[in-house]
Structure 1
Amino acid sequence: MDSLQLTSNSKTPRVIMAEDNTSISDLALLAERDPQQFQLRVEGTRSLEFAGDDSVHHVAFRGSKFPALERLVLDASDQNDEDSLKPYLQPALKEFSFFGGPISDAFLKTLQESSPGLEELLIDNPRNLISPDGFIRFLSGANALKRLSIMYGMDRAITDDVFVALSTLPNLQSLRFTYTVTPELVSFAKSQQLKKCGEAQLFPCLNELVCTVHLEGLCGLLPHLRQLSDLDATILSKDVHSSSLDTFLRDISTYASNLSALKLQYSETVHASIDPANLVHLAQALTHLQHMEISGDHIRVTGLGTDHFAKITQALPNLKVLRLAFQCSLSEAALVELSQTCGGVMTNCELWGSYALHNLEGTGVSLPALQELVLGKLVPPTPDGTNDQAVRAARVVKEMAPNLESFDVISEDPFSTLVQTAWKGLA
């Protein structure tokens, strides 16, 4: 699964409400000019999205209620204060995405009491007004919560005790978490659960995890995540070395066999190696994978060749997204293997290595569903890499992937630039 990354700078698009094709500004104007018609309109409104400067219209809705509101998205604004948001906190509310504003523990208490059926919450940059105790109290009563995204600007609110509270939420299915998961944190959560319940089961229903981790911390957590279907982990530098990487991949193979999406991003500052046999074993153990992404500028997979790559793709015939963004010696033969195994369903592909595209002329390599292709380096037929050769290479790409929307090359050498320019001309 393509993992979603949201930050405090995220901007929601200005979306028209599906129910009545009325924008936030038009709804505010209606409240001013025809209060009776406005109230009739909001009684059926199920979704509101405040983008850009829409927050200036909160004042128009004070004293009103949105009884049918199920989904609320608030772009970052200092005008997202607690009193202004009360009209939207109704019993029907199930999804709430908050991208910034001055809200505190009192707001969370109101949210919990007013919207007990809340299933999805994204919270970002509450201006450091939420305390750990307040957040824990909210979580303790959030019995319907299934999906939680804790974004940036929540540093004050997130502590080890909050992590313990998160790990014991009975219905939590998805967690996006910027607080670093360390081995000490996992050990603390397990010990607290053992004291409280006599067993150390964490995240009993979790199937999606997006997190920043120390490698050993995630290794300690994996035995509790056997139901996980989506894992997106950014691994910090200090724990990345060759032996721990291989151990980690073996642990994923053992404990996370239900994964459909795996995204691992390693530190850019620490050099380490992965045994290609462990990548093969990983693919063969995770037969449900549709998205596989392993990246790191300073990660090397020495010896990863066509035979290894063939075994990886053969084990994953339903793979739609593949990104192997690390130092390796893959070549154009990998594209041949890709075409023969999962080429019919592959939509996004990034493969580092070196590719002599002229060797694919007349081979019939076909990736008809491919929309995005990124290759490490292009090798010209001759050292000078003429413009005519670049056009031929671009035609190979066009014929191989006729529906390609984006083509990029990591190496910024003159020949690669010529090929990309020629491809754009053909497209």
Structure 2
Amino acid sequence: MAEDRTSVSTLALLAEQDPQQLQHRANSLRSLEFIADDSMYHGVFKDIKFPTLERLALDASNQNEEHLLKPYLQPALKAFIFYGGPISENFLVTLQESCPQLEELLIDNARGKITPEGFLHFLEGATSLKRIAIMYGMDQVATDEVFVALATRPSLQSLQFQQTINGDLISLAESQQTNQHDEAQLFPCLDKLVCRATFGGLVRLLPYLRQVTHLEATIMSDGHTSTGSDTLLEAIPASSPHLCILKLEYSGVRPVPISPSGLVHLAQGLPHIQQLEISGQVRAPELQDHHMSKIVEALPDLRNLHLAFECSLTEAALIELGHERGSSMTDCELWGSYALRNLRGSDVSFPVLRDLVLGKLVPPAFGDTKSEAASAARVVKGLAPNLTSFDVVTGDAFASLVDTCWADLI
């Protein structure tokens, strides 16, 4: 029976003490993960075979030389996770030929040794590949042509792509797909997308994401930020109603305004959401506690909520969230201002909450500050007894005291 995983250091020790036992162990390994300095052991395994290895993960290292990685490239390999090292497109050819069942590829910082043409050639031959992540260190590979090849790949289920997607790029992919199949159907099987896009580019892309359940987008300014945000919030549920995870990070020089009605519309159109995160250069100063009631009421499966932007939420929003979804929330970040003393004696509880971030704490107008901080910390502890991380975005003396007192309670 194949083993799920064994640490690299354990295998290296076997190589020194009992080489025969090392090969015996390698014969049943399904997962191998090199972390930190584990890459120093590649040479130890140069004569070892890993016939059942299905997943290989390699932390970034200059010692990830392609001739040292070949022993791991066996026919059973399905996932190749590579965070950096001096590999070339010739190595990709070997990976493609040696691992016909390869389904997942994450690649980062190949030290500039892979060309877009070489990567496209690899994609053409890697017919089983379904999940692809091209990371930040691969900018030289993430060209328009590569995006088009991925967008028109019929079997692609998951994509992480860091080149900025704009309207022109979508038009190029549509044109290519139409030339090949007489119809512009991009990403027909895509379930997960992590990308950077302009407002216009994301709106153009959304109609092709009808099956997506996981969407993470860093939204870049393209001159339409004053009106684009609410348009985007309306377009997402109309195009991708099956989303379970939605993360939007707004990137730009100036904060983008969004309306409470846009946020409520978004929530009401995505009933399957388990994780909702909106952050970055965005502001919704009119977002108030009664809007939170509508948002959480619309999301029965909500487990993780991050509204990390300027707003007018207060402790009443926590009460609304706790009453509706408190029993299932595991992670929560809500900006705004919170007078924790107003939660004393409330019946609100977050029994499985592990991480809590609040925008600002309202200090007491009078009384002993240290005593009030200790009381506020006890409120947090009572509110979420299993909390492992508590933070306040706008730090001040009172927030620091509360944090210290809370840390003493855990």
Residues 389/181 of structure 1: CA separation in 2 closer, same or farther (3 Å cut): same
Tell me which residue corresponds to 1:173: 157
Tell me which residue corresponds to 2:173: 189
> For residue 396 of structure 2, what is the amino acid of its counterpart?
D
Aligned pairs (5 A) from 1:201-280: 201-239=185-223, 241-267=225-251, 269-280=253-264
CA deviation after TM superposition for structure 1 residue 33, in Å: 6.0
Separation of aligned partners in 2, 1:285 and 1:255:
10
Tell me which residue corresponds to 1:59: 43
Aligned pairs (5 A) from 1:282-301: 282-296=266-280, 298-301=281-284
Contact 1:374/1:409 (<8 A) preserved: yes
CA deviation after TM superposition for structure 1 residue 277, in Å: 0.5
Tell me which residue corresponds to 2:343: 360
Residue 351, structure 1, aligned to residue 312, structure 2 = no
Residue 157, structure 1, aligned to residue 141, structure 2 = yes
Residue 378, structure 1, aligned to residue 361, structure 2 = yes
> For residue 332 of structure 2, what is the amino acid of its counterpart?
C
Aligned pairs (5 A) from 1:384-399: 386-399=369-382
> For residue 157 of structure 1, what is the amino acid of its counterpart?
V
> For residue 330 of structure 1, what is the amino acid of its counterpart?
L
Instruction: Name the stretch that deviates more: 348-357 or 360-369.
Output: 360-369
CA deviation after TM superposition for structure 1 residue 406, in Å: 1.3
Q: 1:118 aligns with which of 92, 97, 102?
A: 102
Contact 2:307/2:334 (<8 A) preserved: yes
Deviations 1:312-339 (A, max 9, x none): 0101122111011111111111011111
Q: Which SS does the other structure have where 2:218 is aligned?
A: strand
Q: Which SS does the other structure have where 2:118 is aligned?
A: helix
Tell me which residue corresponds to 1:13: none
Aligned pairs (5 A) from 1:70-89: 70-89=54-73
Q: Which SS does the other structure have where 2:137 is aligned?
A: coil
CA deviation after TM superposition for structure 1 residue 341, in Å: 0.6
> For residue 316 of structure 1, what is the amino acid of its counterpart?
L
Residues 130/60 of structure 1: CA separation in 2 closer, same or farther (3 Å cut): same
Contact 1:63/1:87 (<8 A) preserved: yes
Report the identity percentage.
58
Contact 2:134/2:142 (<8 A) preserved: no
> For residue 319 of structure 2, what is the amino acid of its counterpart?
V
CA deviation after TM superposition for structure 1 residue 171, in Å: 1.8
> For residue 101 of structure 1, what is the amino acid of its counterpart?
G
Residues 245/263 of structure 1: CA separation in 2 closer, same or farther (3 Å cut): same
Residues 299/193 of structure 1: CA separation in 2 closer, same or farther (3 Å cut): same
Q: Which has the higher contact order (CA 8 A, sep 6+)?
A: 1
> For residue 292 of structure 1, what is the amino acid of its counterpart?
L
Contact 2:271/2:299 (<8 A) preserved: yes
Residues 421/32 of structure 1: CA separation in 2 closer, same or farther (3 Å cut): closer
Aligned pairs (5 A) from 1:73-112: 73-112=57-96
Tell me which residue corresponds to 1:335: 318
Contact 2:5/2:30 (<8 A) preserved: no
Q: Which runs of 5+ in 1 are unaligned?
A: 1-17
Q: Which SS does the other structure have where 2:138 is aligned?
A: coil
Deviations 1:367-391 (A, max 9, x none): 2221111111111231577211222
Contact 1:237/1:270 (<8 A) preserved: no
Q: 1:312 aligns with which of 285, 289, 295?
A: 295
Residues 57/243 of structure 1: CA separation in 2 closer, same or farther (3 Å cut): same
Equivalent residue pairs, number:
409
Separation of aligned partners in 2, 1:407 and 1:64:
47
Separation of aligned partners in 1, 2:99 and 2:109:
21
Q: Which segments of structure 1 move beyond 6 Å, counting only runs of 4 or more?
A: none
Tell me which residue corresponds to 1:42: 26
Q: Which SS does the other structure have where 1:91 is aligned?
A: coil
Q: Which SS does the other structure have where 1:188 is aligned?
A: helix
CA deviation after TM superposition for structure 1 residue 76, in Å: 1.8
Contact 2:185/2:208 (<8 A) preserved: yes
CA deviation after TM superposition for structure 1 residue 272, in Å: 2.0
